[in-house]
Structures are given as structure tokens and as C-alpha cells.
Amino acid sequence: MASGTSDLIVRLSLYTTQFEGSLSKFEGQTTKLQASCTNATTGITNFKQVTAQLQTSAQTLTDKLAAQKQKVACFIHCGGKGAFSSGFPGFPRFLETHSFRPRR
């Protein structure tokens, strides 16, 4: 009986050590998972901000492009005379040598 009791104590001791080691690993993995979730949440928040900034930038560029198209159309309509001809001396010649077709 004494031998069986000592074997039982040794086994329980080994099981306890393994259990504590496994529990420690589990706690470490849980901590890593929580950190990953926190990082993912932060990434989503930043994604929203970056998306809003990109939308604003895209709208600004679209507005600038429309203004440039309007200036070019005005320049072409005026026959290359006016503010553009004095500001960009080679521009009328450039327009004569290049054909512009609207993209669809």
C-alpha cells in the first residue's frame, strides 16, 4: 500500500506540473490573442480615418482635374489666345502638334 501511495503521489505531482505548464502556456496564448484583437481594432479605426482622408483627397483631385479641363477647353475655344498664350509660350504649338480626344 505504501508503494502504491508513493506512486500515486509521484503521478499526481507530475500531472500537476504538466497541468501548471499547460495552464501557463494557455495564459500566454490568451494574452497574445488579446493583443492581436487590440491591434486589429486599432487597425480598423485607422482604416476608417485613412479612408476618409483618401476620399477627401480624391474629391480635391477630381475638382482640380475638372478645373484644368475647363481651362484647356476655354483655351482651345479661344484659339490659343489669352492668359494661356502669354503664360505658356510653347503651349499653342503643343496643341497644334498633338490631337486630343476625350476619353470615354
Contact between 9 and 17 (Cβ < 8 Å): no
pTM for the model stands at: 0.40
- Least confident range from 50-54, 72-76, 90-94: namely 90-94
100 has pLDDT over 60: no
Largest Cα span, the chain:
114
| pLDDT value of position 62 | 92
Residues in the chain: 104
Alpha-carbon distance of 92 to 83, in angstroms, equals: 12
Alpha-carbon distance of 73 to 18, in angstroms, equals: 80
Alpha-carbon distance of 61 to 64, in angstroms, equals: 5
| pLDDT value of position 42 | 74
